[in-house]
């Protein structure tokens, strides 16, 4: 964004940072506040504070500073697939075992580190009102667990990031997962409160009395191993951490095959070696659809099961 001048028309007096967030499309309020703190915003020729009020007749000059650099470091050794890329978005195939962004215990070797090593990926400004750690995860608007495989869309600029975040908030992004469950699910629609499990800091729970809403739709695709297992599709309306894993265990009664955190108390003996060979939860982000931030075109991507889940599925089919 280059230097700009805004002359305010008829309006109620409002905070300077709020007014500029509306005028400077694609720039977050945190970014606007940084410009103000750096003295790059003048009102009638005078530097003001973010909370100062402006109104009709105010002349605002904005001289944006460059985006803050990402706190993550490039790593060209990180491997992942690319399904689609243009100047605004990058759609990737994340393999199981790859963490999406740096966090406690995973300071490097993540998808973000791999993205930053690409010549075509210039990290957008990650300053975000809703994400205090945005500098560690530039471009990331949604995540999947380390041991879940599948499709993610990444924003390549601030405007694309804000558009994708808005679509996710409106539940208009299509997210479909393929999963292998222990047992055959009979519940097809799950809507619950959702929050931290009070008994474990690593787990989440849908058996809470208050919290955010979590909604999952479950569809049976194939019965397996004489109804000891099933291939199912899970469609997300919301995207809470571990949502599918928790809902399948607590609300549907059919936990994921191979899930080390949300595992059942008892599993059929015939499934144990298949789960052990898989070595992770049998969950794959198989389809993703969204509206392109710039063109307005509806894009949709699909990925077949990865080799390890397909091997597990074939083994279950051989059990009858």
Q: Where in the chain is the domain with CATH 3.30.2350.10?
A: 68-170, 171-320
Say whether 251 sits in a helix, a strand or coil.
helix
With a CB cutoff of 8 Å and minimum separation 6, the contacts of 228 are: 182, 183, 268, 270, 271, 319
Is 314 a catalytic site residue? no
- pLDDT computed for residue 132 by the predictor: 45
Written as six digits, the tokens of 207 are 């058996």
Say whether 121 sits in a helix, a strand or coil.
coil
- pLDDT computed for residue 277 by the predictor: 97
Architecture of the domain delimited by 68-170: 2-Layer Sandwich (3.30)
CA 249 – CA 188 distance, rounded (Å) = 13
- The sign of the CA dihedral 115, 117, 118, 124 is positive
Top-level class of domain 4-62:
alpha beta
Catalytic residue among 17, 88, 128, 145: 145
Q: Where in the chain is the domain with CATH 3.10.290.10?
A: 4-62
HEC secondary structure over 195-224: EECCCCCCCEECCCCCCEEEEEEEEEEEEE
Top-level class of domain 171-320:
alpha beta
Q: What is the pLDDT along the chain (320 residues), one digit of tens a residue?
A: 678 999 999 999 999 999 998 888 767 787 889 899 989 999 999 999 999 999 999 999 999 887 655 557 888 999 999 999 999 999 999 999 999 987 766 667 899 999 999 988 876 554 555 554 455 678 899 999 999 999 999 999 989 999 999 999 999 999 999 999 999 999 899 999 999 998 887 899 999 999 999 999 999 999 999 999 999 999 999 999 999 999 999 999 999 999 999 988 889 999 999 999 999 999 999 999 999 999 999 999 999 999 999 999 999 999 98
Taking alpha carbons only, the member of 310, 253, 300 closest to residue 84 is 300
- pLDDT computed for residue 126 by the predictor: 47
**For the chain, what percentages of helix, strand and coil (3-state, to nearest 5) are there?**
20, 30, 50
Give me the phi and psi of 307, to 5 degrees please. Answer: -60, -40
């Amino acid at each position: 964004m280059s230097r700009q001048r805004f002359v305010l028309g008829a309006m109620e007096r409002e905070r300077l940072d709020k007014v500029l967030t509306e005028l400077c499309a694609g720039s977050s309020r945190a970014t606007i506040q940084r410009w103000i703190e750096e003295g790059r915003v003048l009102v009638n020729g005078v530097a003001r504070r973010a909370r100062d009020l402006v109104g009709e007749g105010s002349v605002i000059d904005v001289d944006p500073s460059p985006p803050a650099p990402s706190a993550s470091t490039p790593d060209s050794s990180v491997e992942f697939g690319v399904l689609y890329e243009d100047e605004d978005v990058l759609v990737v195939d994340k393999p199981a075992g790859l963490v999406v962004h740096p966090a406690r215990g995973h300071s490097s070797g993540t998808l973000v580190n791999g993205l930053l090593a690409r010549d075509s990926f210039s990290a957008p400004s990650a300053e975000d009102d809703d994400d205090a750690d945005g500098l560690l995860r530039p471009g990331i608007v949604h995540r999947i667990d380390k041991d879940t495989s599948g499709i993610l869309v990444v924003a390549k600029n601030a405007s694309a990031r804000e558009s994708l975040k808005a679509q996710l908030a409106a539940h208009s992004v299509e997210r479909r997962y393929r999963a292998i469950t222990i047992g055959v699910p009979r519940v097809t629609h799950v809507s619950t409160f959702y929050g931290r499990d009070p008994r474990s800091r690593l787990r989440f729970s849908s058996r809470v009395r208050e919290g955010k809403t979590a909604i999952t739709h479950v569809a049976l695709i194939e019965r397996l191993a004489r109804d000891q297992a099933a291939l199912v599709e899970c469609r997300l309306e919301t995207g809470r951490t571990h949502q599918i894993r928790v809902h399948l265990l607590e609300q549907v009664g059919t936990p994921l095959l191979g899930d080390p955190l949300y595992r059942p108390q008892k599993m059929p003996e015939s499934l144990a070696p298949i789960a052990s060979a898989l070595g992770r939860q049998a969950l794959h982000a198989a389809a993703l659809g969204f509206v392109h931030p710039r063109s307005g075109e509806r894009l949709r991507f699909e990925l077949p099961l990865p080799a390890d889940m397909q091997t597990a599925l074939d083994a279950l089919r051989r059990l009858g």
